Structure 1
Amino acid sequence: MSTAPAEAVGPLMRGVAVLRALSDADGRAGLGDLVRATGLARSTVDRIAATLARMGYVRLDGPVVTLAPRLMELANAYLGALGLPALLGPLAVQLAEELDESVSLAVPDGDGIRFVHQSTRRRAMSLTFRIGDLLPAERTAPGPLFAAHWTPGQWTAWRERRAADPEGLGFPGVPAGTGDHFEERVDRARAAGSAVDDQLIEPGLIAVAVPLRDPAGVPLCALSVVSHTSRHSAESLREAVLPRLRA
């Protein structure tokens, strides 16, 4: 596999750094603030801001940079480029119709997960997270499936993150919560080849997930069926959908 030369990747990464700093500043920041936030030279930040403005992704008002609506066309472009939504999305839609439950695809990202596809049913479900949001692995059904293959270094990073932020306040896509007994859930997922979320991510929401593996047996993504406690308990959902999920 060929890799892009550093001179091609560098400008992209610097542009992403400026956009991330703007996002962290709630979409509006001075050029000087962006210099401090990114560590880039002022001339570099000026050049990136001017380029982004010409592309319509930001607006410039003197030294103040503001994110522009056109930036939304880039939303989740990286997740879409994975190819999984296009490859597996139609199957997820078919499964959602067959089971009359919502079906999701998720991929690992560090010690968290990101949903890359959701086939929702028409009934109301008060999901607070969106496709692309980073969610803590310990509060999801796919999380234990991915964590079953973590390296010691990944477990160390997870424990450090938990110690610094036990309620997951660094994950704005979900309500605060602890997700206790994660390591026990990982052991159960490793043995069973499936995992359950019993209202860990959101009250009333339950899910069952199975891994989709590469030839080496490592999960590339997880397939989840999501339901509500008004329809199922976690155990009854597992019994109802697990055979079809595995198939």
Structure 2
Amino acid sequence: MLRATAFIAMAAFCGSSEAAAQTCKPYAFEGNGYTLCEASLDRFAVRLFWQKPDGGPYTYLSALPKTDERGGRLAFALNGGMFHPDYKPVGLHVENGRELVRANTRPGPGNFHLRPNGIFYFGEAEAGVMETGAFLKKKPKANFATQSGPMLVIDGKLHPRIAKANVSAKPRDGVCVRGDKSVVFAISDGGVPFDTFMRLFRDGLKCRNALFLDGGTAPALFVPGTRSGNVLFGLGPMIAVYEKPRP
């Protein structure tokens, strides 16, 4: 059984840190409200976490390091993808250049296996979203990577299987990269169908490639001093965004 969570709406950011306020804003598209959180790699460092140094899972966003290895402050953190009941990531998981979980190309049920799925990868100066097969073939240099699914936009085209499906409206969140340095996370304020969410990335955000990260009912976002981000059942992989210290 896969477990998943969603982000939260813009109201949760009221009174948050200046960095989080600068990166997150409300956005409307086709009559639906969203929250966009955009982080330029020139100003922010994106990190991926799963296990603590002792090998146990972090489980809760509030347990993540409040500063990174260079002393940059944590701006916000959120769920990083789908995971098994033991919190192990379902697909590829790379931290600091180390592959902790191999890419998952097996067939199976659920959104993760609605092919093509994809991989969000990033480093110090470059980030991207790529279909899983293309990623494994091209092998781009990635210090961090997380696999999720399905892809929402593939080379400017909507996922063919989702576009024809009549799916229910649920809270949804995803990620794309504009250029190769601007990472954009999007969360619906309420329930939206998959096809609507796909068009948000292609037509609203002008993303060539976009990946579905998660969807469901339990919000999971941590903003230091403002929101705990904890959920009852805990989390597996987590994405954290840190301010880069000024010279």
Compare relative contact order (CA 8 Å, sep 6+) and give the higher one, 1 or 2: 2
Higher strand share: 2
Say yes or no: TM over 0.5: no
**Could you say which structure has the larger radius of gyration?**
1
